[in-house]
Structure formats: structure tokens, C-alpha cells
Amino acid sequence: MKALEGVRKTWRTAATLVSLAFSAAPGRAVVAIVTELLGAILTLVASYQIQNVVQAAATGDRAHALRAGLTLAFTGGLGGLSYLAYAQALPRLIEAITVHLDGELVRLTARIPTLEYADRPVHADKIQLIRSQSQMLAGGLQAVMLNVRMLVTLGGAFVILIGIDPWLALLPIFAIPRALAGQRARRLQVRAQEATAEPMRLRGHIFNHATSPVAGKELRIFGLGAELAKRYRDISATTRHLNVRANWGGAIWSSLGDMAFTLGCVAAVAWLVFRAAQGAVNPGGVVLAATLTTGLIIQMTFALQFAQYFQAIMTTVERYEWLVDFSNTAAQAVTGEAAAPTILRRGLKVEGVCFTYLDRDKPVLTDVSLELPAGRVIALVGENGSGKSTLVKLLCGFYPPSAGRILADDTDLADIQPAAWRERISGAFQDFTNFEVAMHESVGLGDLPRLGDRDRVTAALGRAGAADLATLGEHGLEVMLGKKWGGVDLSGGQWQKLALGRALMREQPLLVVFDEPAAALDASAEHDLFERFAAEARSGQSGGRATLLISHRFSTVRMADAIAVLDAGRIAEFGSHEALMRAGGKYAELFEIQASAYR
């Protein structure tokens, strides 16, 4: 049963690899497969000719010798040509598969409408693994073809051998200990791989820490360099030990198997020599059989190595198939088909929303109800971890609420197509991205259809309080960002202003979220910025837009139309700054603490 499952898995893997090759570059795939098979057949034909050559030489028949020699030369030449075509097609095929695969990985991950996969370490790990092994997947087709070639030559050689002497049909019996020993060796290898996977990952993690520029300051201050190097070496010692043991074990088993098979081959040749002495087999047949059996020994060794390689590919292919499935399921799970409203008349309404992350058992949000009226600015405050960013993620549709619902006017967010909703929101976040492209693009990406519109970028940068960035270098907005690309590097605050500019690119968003987007700016700069945003949000032209603002600075928060205080996932207080101050609750207390610090 288990063996059958193995065969089925092997077939599936091979089919996936072949279909990947055909989607990536059908022409090159055909050339590679045809030339590979042709090569296998020609090898067989050529070795079969050896019999004729020897026979002709033994009998002294010139015409026969000439014919056999010419056929041998012809098959050899054709074989050489087909190999040439193969060698030309293969690297380009592998390149095409790599490009195709990378594209598929981007497509498959990007179309997952929610963030869940990125938040689950298991999934993120798997996707990372597929990415790092895409080269291996690309080379997988080569392994499949080599296996096919091996099967063809092995099968062909076997048929020829039986033709020479039927007793040679017993030869595969000697291959059985060989295969068993090979399996044993492979199992040792797999076990070592599994045992070292975790330490290897940790080792990689340590290496990244030790060499990342971000960690550089702390590494130096706390003198962690030597400690990290020591841990790296310790882990390497353990993994090396495990690998060496597995390699030795594998080598011993493999050579035992080899010996059994070689013995069988020697016995076969001895038997043929004996039969030739009896006159039952001709000398040509003996030479042919000797050549083929020697070839078999070499082929079997290759076959074993490829089986090991294939095993590794199979795991990667399985992961890839998992991603395809996961992505399909995630894309199908989204049922919303409605369009987003053109304009918000009343606003967004969060109704009794609860939320628990998949890998947590405690809810992060409990029975949250909140209105975000159109044309108003609502601020959200609360301690770290109180669930503010989680609420933002739900509003953006990255996760569905575990209970309750979010309405855009009268339409449930769950009924709106995720892509349609995303097109109508905008936002700047604490964990923003540094897009290292030309500066105008880094901002312009906030409204893809209008990428390249310098005027809009200039305006957005101005509104984000970053007009000065446009005159940073002589190239203005064209300046390339990022040292890696020979561009300029920006400070944390400057990057943040670009992210803010990006959030201001879309002309008619229904929802704008600012989730601590200005933490790297000083308090007065943040205050000025949000004063402007608030004025924009309330002005007639953006009447159809709800704005949510999260900040730890009460000087900023107080200008919101209403403030919600989130405490351990529940709305504890709600009202205007004045009302909350009068109420003398948590908000008033926190405000006083911060205000007194500034006095």
C-alpha cells in the first residue's frame, strides 16, 4: 500500500514538473524531451551495433564490417547532434521555468485576498521555502527526463540481454538488494535532513541577525558579535555531526548494494563466456552483453542518486501544490460580489464585531461597535496591544470579523468584492514599506492608474508636509531611492513622509486610515499634518469619506470629531475631547499625564 502511494506521488510530482515546463516554454520542453528520448534510443542502437562489428571482425566479412561500422558512426553522429540540441534547449528551458515559477509564486500569494497566510508562521515559512527552492523545481524536469531515459535504456538493455541468453532474465534479482540498500541509505539521509532542518533555520536566522545593518548598533553596544559567532559554530558542529553520520551510513549501505549487483553482473558475464565456449553464444554477443552489464552498473548508480534528488524535489513540489490549493481555496472563499458604494452617504458602521486571530485562543476584539460617519474624523486611542491595528485590518477587509459585521452605508463589507473595496480605501501605517524606486513612483504607487503624474505627486507630498523632499537632489522627483540601487537613502522620518504622501494620492477614497503613520515625526509636525488632514476630511469635496486616525499623541487626537478609547479589545469610552475630559475617565487621565509631561 505504502509503495503504491509512493508510486502515485512520484507520478504526480513528475506530472506537475512536466506541466510546469510546458506552461513555461512549450517549444523548448518538446525539444528537450524528444532529444532526451532520442539519445536513449540511439545509445541502445549503438551498443547493439557492437555485436555486429565484433561478429564481422571475427568472421572477416568486409561488407558486413563496413555496414556495421557505418551504422555505428551514423548513430553515434546523430546521438551527438541530438545531445547538442538538448544541451542548447535545457538551460533556456530551466531559465524559462524559473521565471515562470517566480511569476506564479507572486501571482498565487498576491491573489490571496486576506492577510491570514502572512500572519501564520507555518504558511509564511512554507512560502519562503518554495521561493528559495524554485531553482530546484526548475531543475526538476531534468531529473524526470533523466529518469525516463534511464528506464528506456535499462529496459532496452534488458530486452537485448534476454535475446542473447534467456538466463540473463535473472539479472534483475541482483538489483533487489541494491534497491533495498538504496532505500535504506535514502531513509538515513531524509532522517538527517529532518533532524538538521530546525538547527539550520536557526543558524540562518543568527547569520541574518549578525550581518543585518539594522541590528548593527545593538550588536556593537551589547558586544553580541562573538556570542552570535559562537552559537553559529555550535549549531554547525551539531548539524555537521548528524550529516556526517548519515553520509557514512548511506555510503556503507550503498556500497553493499553495489557489491551485490556487481557480483550478479560478473556472474552473468562468466556464464556467457561459459556458454560461448560451448558455442551456444557468439563472441559478438558476449562483448555486447559485457558492455551492457557494465553500463547497467553505472546506470544503477546514477539511478540511485537521482532517486535521492527526486525525493528532495518531491517535497518542494508538494509544497508548491499546497500553495496552489491554498491560493485557490482562499480566492474561492471570498464570496463578496457587490461593487463598492460610489460615495458614502452616512458612513461606516462597525456592529458588534469580535475577532480572534487563528492561532490565538483569546479574542483581540470583543463586541466592538463604532460609527465612522462620512466627512468626519474619528480617533482611536488605547494602550499597545489593545487591538487598534486589528480593527484597522478588519476595516480594510484583510480579515473577516469572527462575529458581527461592518457596514459601508447599507452594504456589508463581506458582500463587497475585496479588490473593489481596496480600490476605495487609502492608508498610512506604522509598519509602512520603503519602496525603493524613483521618488515620484514611491509616492505615485498610492494611485497606480495615475503613476507618472508628477503634479499629483507634488501635491500629495505638499499635503504630507514633505515638499522639501522634492528638492532633495538635483534630479528632483526623479531621484532614485535606496543605496542598493545607487540612489539616495532617506531618514526614517523622510520615508514615513513618503508613505503619507502615498496615502494621499487617491482622489476619492471612501475610507482613509492613519495607523500611527507619523510616529517618526515630532509632535508639532504631526499636529500640523493632522490639522490639515482633518480640515480636508471635513471639507465638502471629501464629504463621502470616513477617516480613522490612530495616534499616541493626545495633541493630535484631540482635534478629531470624536474619540474612541479601546481597552483590551473593548470600546471603553466614546465622545468628543471635551466630553471625555468632563467625564474624567481613562481618556482624561491619560491626557493629563501626557499634558503634564509637556508643561
Ligand X SMILES: Nc1ncnc2c1ncn2[C@@H]1O[C@H](COP(=O)(O)OP(=O)(O)O)[C@@H](O)[C@H]1O
C-alpha–C-alpha distance, residues 530 and 372, integer Å: 17
CA 290 – CA 293 distance, rounded (Å): 5
Query: What is the DSSP secondary-structure string of 382-404?
Result: --TTSSHHHHHHHHTTSS--SEE
- Considering the rule CB under 6 A, would residue 389 count as an interface residue with ligand X? yes
Total of residues contacting ligand X (CB under 6 A): 13
Report, in Å, the least distance between residue 115 CB and ligand X: 7
In DSSP notation, 313-382 reads: HHHHHHHHHHHHHHHHHHHHH----BPPPSS-SSEEEEEEEEE--TT-SS-SEEEEEEEEETT-EEEEE-
Nearer to ligand X, 447 or 515 (CB): 515
User: Exposed/middle/buried for 571, CB within 10 Å: 0-12, 13-18, 19+?
Assistant: buried
Q: Which is nearer to ligand X, 31 or 566 (CB)?
A: 566
Provide the grid cell at 347: 458612513
Interaction residues for ligand X, span 99-128 (CB under 6 A) = 119
> Residue 575: helix, strand or coil by DSSP?
strand
Query: Shortest distance, CB of residue 586 to ligand X, whole angstroms?
Result: 14
Give yes or no for a contact between 176 and 212, defined as CB atoms under 8 angstroms apart. Answer: no
| Cβ-based nearer residue to ligand X, 95 or 567 | 567
Half-sphere exposure of residue 54, counting CA atoms within 13 Å on the CB side?
A: 17
Q: How many CB atoms lie within 10 A of CB 393?
A: 19
364 binds ligand X (CB under 6 A): yes
d(CA 250, CA 256): 10
For Mg ion, which is the closer residue by CB, 309 or 399? Answer: 399
Three-state DSSP at 563 gives: strand
Segment lying near ligand X (by CB under 6 A), choices 242-250, 270-278, 387-395, 498-506:
387-395
Shortest approach of ligand X to residue 430 CB, angstroms?
Answer: 8
Among 382, 400, 418, 427, binds ligand X (CB under 6 A): 382
Asked if 510 and 341 count as a contact pair (C-beta separation under 8 A), the reply is yes
Q: Does 388 bind ligand X (CB under 6 A)?
A: yes
Q: Which does 119 bind (CB under 5 to 8 A by kind): ligand X, Mg ion, none?
A: ligand X
Task: Note whether 465 binds ligand X by CB under 6 A.
Answer: no
Q: Least Å distance between CB 396 and ligand X?
A: 13
* Contact positions vs Mg ion (CB under 5 A): 388-389
In the complex, the smallest distance separating the C-beta of residue 393 from Mg ion, rounded to whole angstroms, is 10
What grid cell was written down for 569? 479589545
> Which of the listed partners (ligand X, Mg ion, none) does 384 bind, with a CB threshold of 5 to 8 Å by partner kind?
ligand X
Q: Which span (89-97, 151-159, 352-360, 577-585) binds ligand X, by CB under 6 A? A: 352-360
553 in contact with ligand X (CB under 6 A): no
Asked if 510 and 340 count as a contact pair (C-beta separation under 8 A), the reply is yes
For the CB of residue 427, give the shortest distance to ligand X in the complex, in Å: 13
Q: Select from Mg ion, ligand X, none the partner in contact with residue 386, using the beta carbon and a kind-dependent cut-off of 5 to 8 Å.
A: ligand X
497 in contact with ligand X (CB under 6 A): no
CB of 128 to ligand X, least distance (A): 17
Choose among Mg ion, ligand X, none what residue 364 binds, the Cβ cut-off being 5 to 8 Å by kind.
ligand X
Taking the C-alpha atoms of residue 105 and residue 127, their distance in angstroms, rounded to an integer, is 8
514 three-state secondary structure: strand
Out of Mg ion, ligand X, none, what residue 412 binds, judged by CB under 5 to 8 A for its kind, is none
Pick the binder of ligand X from 26, 103, 352, 385 (CB under 6 A): 385
**Site for ligand X contains 376 (CB under 6 A):** no
Nearer to ligand X, 60 or 121 (CB): 121
178-217 binders of ligand X (CB under 6 A)? none
Q: Which helix (H) or strand (E) holds 573?
A: strand 570-575
Q: Of 101-109, 246-254, 261-269, 353-361, which segment contacts ligand X by CB under 6 A?
A: 353-361
Alpha carbon separation from 106 to 109, 111, 328, 482 (Å, rounded): 5, 8, 14, 23
Task: For the CB of residue 139, give the shortest distance to Mg ion in the complex, in Å.
Answer: 43
Question: Closest CB to ligand X among 102 and 359?
Answer: 359
**Rule CB under 6 A: is residue 360 a binding residue for ligand X?**
yes
Q: Which does 382 bind (CB under 5 to 8 A by kind): ligand X, Mg ion, none?
A: ligand X
Q: Which of 357, 434, 459, 462 binds ligand X (CB under 6 A)?
A: 357
* Amino acid code (one letter) for 329: T
| Identity of the residue, 86 or 429, whose beta carbon is nearer to ligand X in the bound complex | 429
DSSP state at residue 488? B
The window from 59-67, 271-279, 358-366, 408-416 that contacts ligand X (CB under 6 A) reads 358-366
Nearer to Mg ion, 165 or 516 (CB): 516
Q: Measured from the CB atom, is 389 or 556 closer to Mg ion?
A: 389
Do residues 174 and 265 make contact, with C-beta atoms less than 8 angstroms apart?
Answer: yes
The residue (of 303 and 590) whose beta carbon lies closer to ligand X is 590
Nearer to Mg ion, 35 or 389 (CB): 389
Q: Which is nearer to ligand X, 536 or 573 (CB)?
A: 573
Question: Looking at beta carbons, which residue is closest to Mg ion?
Answer: 389
Residue 484, classified by CB atoms within 10 Å of its CB into exposed (0-12), middle (13-18) or buried (19+), is: exposed
- Per the structure block, which three cell numbers stand in for 217? 548598533
Question: What are the helix and strand counts (H, E) for the chain?
Answer: 19, 10
Q: How far apart are CA 160 and CA 292, in angstroms?
A: 9
Distance in Å, CB of 198 to ligand X, minimum: 22
> Does residue 509 belong to the site contacting ligand X (CB under 6 A)?
no
Q: Identify which of residues 276 and 564 has a Cβ nearer to ligand X in the complex.
A: 564
Rounded Cα gap, residues 460 and 160, in angstroms:
78
Please tell me the distance from the alpha carbon of residue 501 to that of residue 467, in angstroms, as a whole number.
Answer: 10
353 binds ligand X (CB under 6 A): no
C-alpha 88: how far from its chain's center?
29
User: What is residue 438's DSSP assignment?
Assistant: B
| Alpha-carbon span 269 to 546, nearest angstrom | 87
Q: Given the rule CB under 6 A, which residues bind ligand X? A: 119, 357, 359-360, 364, 382, 384-390
